[in-house]
Each structure stands twice: as C-alpha cells, then as structure tokens.
C-alpha cells in the first residue's frame, strides 16, 4: 500500500482561465470549494488545468494506487413498474421480452462463467410489481450460503424504498431484514440528478432526490456503506450537477457512509430520450475531475469503464479517478441503452489498463481492503 502513496513534488499550477486561479488557491490550501467554484469548473475550457487540480487531490489521497475489483453483476428481473425515460432496461409486466430469474437460476448465474474468484455480487433490478420482499431476502440468503466469502452489494435506495413499501414496513425495518439476510452494502444507483425539474423529465416514477438522500442517510446510520452516482448528459444544467454534488457532500459530512462517487454518462439509445446526443470525451472527463474537486469528503471517485469505455476510464486515472470498477462479467443496463463496450473484462485486462496509465493496480474488495489471491481463491486483509 505504501509504495503507491509516496508523496511527489508538484510543480506550480498554470492556466489560461482566470476563473480557475482563486479555485486553485483553495485547492492548494486544502480548502472546500463552493457552488460558484463548481459552476466555474464545469464551464472552464481549460480541462487540463481542471484535471491537474483533480489529479493533485487524487494523488494526495491515494498516491499512485488505482483500485479495481473482481465482481459480477446480477440483474434478477427487468420487470419494472416505473417507466423512467432515461432507462432502456426496464419492461412493463406482460411485455414480450421480460425476464425474472427463478431463485435457483440467480444462484447458478452468480457462480457461472468466470475463472477468477469473484469478491462482490452487484445486484440491482427492476421494481417488480409482484415479487414479494421474501424473494429478495431468499435470493441474498441463498447467495451467502453458496458463496459465503463474496460481499453482497445489493439494492439501490430506490429499490429499498420500493421493497419496504411492498413489504408494508418502514425503510428501517426493511434495511434490518436486508442486513439479517446478508446484504453487506449498497450500490449508488437511482440518484440520477436530484433536482425536481430534471427528475420529473427523466425518472418521474422514482422516489425524489430528498428521499434518496434520506434513505442513504438511514442506511449509513445503520452501519451500511454505500456508493453514490450522478447521471449526466441529458436535460440537466450545469447548476443541477453542482447542486447534486453539494447535496451528496452535505449527507456525507453527517454520516461518512459514502465510499465512492460514480458519475454515469447517459446512453440515449432505446430510451424515450433517444433524441438526445451521446456524451462526449470532454464531458465525461470533466465530471470525474469536478467530482473529485467538489466531493472533498468522498474517499473514492470511480470511472466506470462500462459507461465511459475502458479508454476513457484509463485516462480518468490522471484526471481525478482512483477506481475503474471491476470485471462485471455480464452487463445489461447500458447495453440495452446502446453501450458498445464489452460485457465484462478479465482481471488481467484491468491490471493492464491501470499499469499503462502509470498507476499501481490495487485489487480491493467492496470495502477497499486489499485482496490477495492464490489459485482460484482469495483472502481479504483485515
């Protein structure tokens, strides 16, 4: 761990954008940035200067280390009562191409098709109108029985709120039952953009931004760690993005429960917003850098290779990101929305991406503890 953390000399900051000068002064002094700083960072044409600052913060926190994990995504069902315009994955009950995994099928899928021992199951799916709360608890319990060493990162704040309602219990009760069944932490999905105006357009049927944040707050207070995402590149304004980041930062000041911030670039194909242009390299790299600079209390910033391509994820490791996510194995949500990235990557591919970016690969478990491997098994540092 220490090898990647050696402090390096940093040469002085340079920019041709005067708006970045006062921001640089704050970043160099370790001071917190405000709303206007966030907007200026989003507007600046000097992406190299923005990236330089983000990289400075990233190296202060993690040196040259770049984290990845060996994980598998499981999406138990694509049946969903919501009809979010942003989504190409969900289907209404009764439509032709719906699927719902039987429990045995989900348990078998979890163990399939990968030679390296997986350390994390990432489980998210549609808001199914009929599946009982017990289906999800049995799913988790069965996975824990079969794969006791594997961390279960399951259910977004949106699913938790929905499942609690379906099970006629409070969110706290639902979280308690999830803990008992073996859920270890939560992924960061469903956050989208918190601002009401945007949410009404892209995901009118989801819990609102305040409810998402309060569910996360409660989960953290009950001892869960979770991630947080932001979906950008659709109908949001720069101000909505900065507002989103500040609302996350505020909860994090209170709970410290967020591990990683993951900006997600919108994929329009096959969604009700298919007229919107695809994201660009500048937009993607900027969200990483601005996330790193604004979220001074988040330990990690993830550039999710599935979303932004492996090439962009690699470059991001020099623009504020310290994590590129994992092997994934089978991805459905963005591939239904037109992503052309591979469905999964091998451990060796991730290591190569990181090494060629001049960083030191660090295989982590979901809680960022070191994973060491021998043969087809692994050990997590305590």
23 binds ligand V47 (CB under 6 A): no
Q: What is d(CA 62, CA 322) in angstroms, rounded to the nearest whole number?
A: 7
**3-class SS at 132?**
coil
* Alpha carbon 103 to its chain's center: 26
Give the total of residues touching ligand V47 (CB under 6 A). 21
x/- map, 219-258, ligand V47, by CB under 6 A: --------x-x-x---------------------------
Least distance (Å) between residue 79 CB and ligand V47: 15
* Between 215 and 227, CB nearer to ligand V47: 227
Stretch in the footprint of ligand V47 (CB under 6 A) among 96-104, 186-194, 207-215, 313-321: 186-194
Q: What is d(CA 215, CA 115) in angstroms, rounded to the nearest whole number?
A: 36
Q: What is d(CA 85, CA 372) in angstroms, rounded to the nearest whole number?
A: 42
Is 320 within 8 Å of 293 (Cβ atoms)? yes
Least distance (Å) between residue 48 CB and ligand V47: 27
189 binds ligand V47 (CB under 6 A): yes
Work out which of 40, 245, 333, 353 binds ligand V47, going by CB under 6 A. 333
* Between 266 and 378, CB nearer to ligand V47: 266
What is the side-by-side strand order in the sheet with 151-154?
Answer: 71-74, 120-123, 151-154, 185-186, 225-232, 258-265, 300-301
Is 160 within 8 Å of 178 (Cβ atoms)? yes
Stretch in the footprint of ligand V47 (CB under 6 A) among 8-16, 82-90, 99-107, 244-252: 82-90
Is 318 within 8 Å of 281 (Cβ atoms)? no
337 binds ligand V47 (CB under 6 A): yes
Residues at the contact surface with ligand V47, assessed by CB under 6 A: 86-88, 187-190, 192, 227, 229, 231, 262, 264, 266-267, 271, 304, 325, 333-334, 337
């Amino acid at each position: 761990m220490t090898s990647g953390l050696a402090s390096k000399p940093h040469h002085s900051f340079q920019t041709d954008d005067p708006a970045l000068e006062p921001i640089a002064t704050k970043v160099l002094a370790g001071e917190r940035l405000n709303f206007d700083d966030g907007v200026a960072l989003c507007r600046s044409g000097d992406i190299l200067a923005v990236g330089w600052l983000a990289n400075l913060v990233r190296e202060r926190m993690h040196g040259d280390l770049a984290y990845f994990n060996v994980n598998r995504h499981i999406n138990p069902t694509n049946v969903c009562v919501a009809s979010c315009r942003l989504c190409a994955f969900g289907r209404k009950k009764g439509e032709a191409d719906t699927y719902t995994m039987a429990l045995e099928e989900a348990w078998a899928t979890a163990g399939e098709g990968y030679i390296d021992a997986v350390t994390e199951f990432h489980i998210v799916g549609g808001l199914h109108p009929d599946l009982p709360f017990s289906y999800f608890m049995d799913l988790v319990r069965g996975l824990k029985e079969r794969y006791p060493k594997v961390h279960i990162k399951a259910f977004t704040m949106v699913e938790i709120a929905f499942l609690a309602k379906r099970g006629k219990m409070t969110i706290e009760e639902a979280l308690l039952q999830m803990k008992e069944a073996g859920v270890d932490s939560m992924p960061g999905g469903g956050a989208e953009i918190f601002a009401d105006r945007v949410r009404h357009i892209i995901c009118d049927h989801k819990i609102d931004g305040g409810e998402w944040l309060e569910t996360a707050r409660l989960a953290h207070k009950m001892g869960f760690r979770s991630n947080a995402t932001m979906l950008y590149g659709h109908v949001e304004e720069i101000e909505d993005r900065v507002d989103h980041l500040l609302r996350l930062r505020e909860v994090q000041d209170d709970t410290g429960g967020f591990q990683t911030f993951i900006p997600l670039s919108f994929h329009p194909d096959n969604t009700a917003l298919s007229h919107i242009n695809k994201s660009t390299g500048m937009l993607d790299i900027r969200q990483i850098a601005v996330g790193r600079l604004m979220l001074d209390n988040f330990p990690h910033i993830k550039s999710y290779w599935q979303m932004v391509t492996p090439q962009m994820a690699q470059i991001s490791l020099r623009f504020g990101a310290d994590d590129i996510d994992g092997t994934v194995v089978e991805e459905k949500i963005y591939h239904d929305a037109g992503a052309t990235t591979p469905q999964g990557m091998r451990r060796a591919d991730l290591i190569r991406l990181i090494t060629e970016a001049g960083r030191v690969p660090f295989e982590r478990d979901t809680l960022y503890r070191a994973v060491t491997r021998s043969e087809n098994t692994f050990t997590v540092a305590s």
